[in-house]
Amino acid sequence: MDLHVKKMGYNRGVVTTKDRRKAPRSNSNLPFDIYDSKGRMVVGEGHFVNLSTNGGMMVSRKPLKTREAVRLQVVTAGKAALELIGKVVWSRKKTSEFEYGIRFKSDSSSPLV
């Protein structure tokens, strides 16, 4: 990981990490359903916190494992359902829910951001 140190005053530094995202993120609150691996049954629900064409951060009460494949379906008013297929790349447990980083599969539909 690349670290950048900006010197300030008497050798005090502020350390920041380089952002490795390949596409800009946009804030989102899009709800989605989580489907089983065959896309037949809803096994959970949640919402996105932010989105890009490559992935996003989502929140759900459904426990998922890192590296687990996910199939999400986003339905917005007056629009056709959008299916997103991806993989959990990181997870974080909160009090009553989980936060996840998702990387979309390259041939999955790209969300509108």
Q: What is the CATH number of the domain that holds 49?
A: 2.40.10.220
Residue 28 placed within a domain: yes
| pLDDT, tens digit (0-9, with 9 covering 90-100), for 37-95 | 788 889 999 999 999 999 999 999 999 999 999 999 998 888 888 899 999 999 999 99
Phi, psi for 43 (deg, rounded to 5):
-115, -5
Within a domain: 5: no
Residues 21, 98: Cα–Cα separation, whole Å: 21
For residue 3, is it within any domain? no
Retrieve residue 31's tokens: 């709800």
- Supply the range of the domain harboring residue 71: 22-104
Q: Is there a domain that residue 4 lies in?
A: no
- Provide the domain count of the chain: 1
- Residue 111: inside a domain: no
10 Å CB burial of residue 16 (0-12, 13-18, 19+) is: exposed
The amino acid present at 112, given as its one-letter code, is: L
Instruction: Please report the sign of the dihedral spanned by the C-alpha atoms of residue 49, residue 46, residue 74, residue 57.
Output: positive
Instruction: Note the pTM of the prediction, 2 decimals.
Output: 0.72
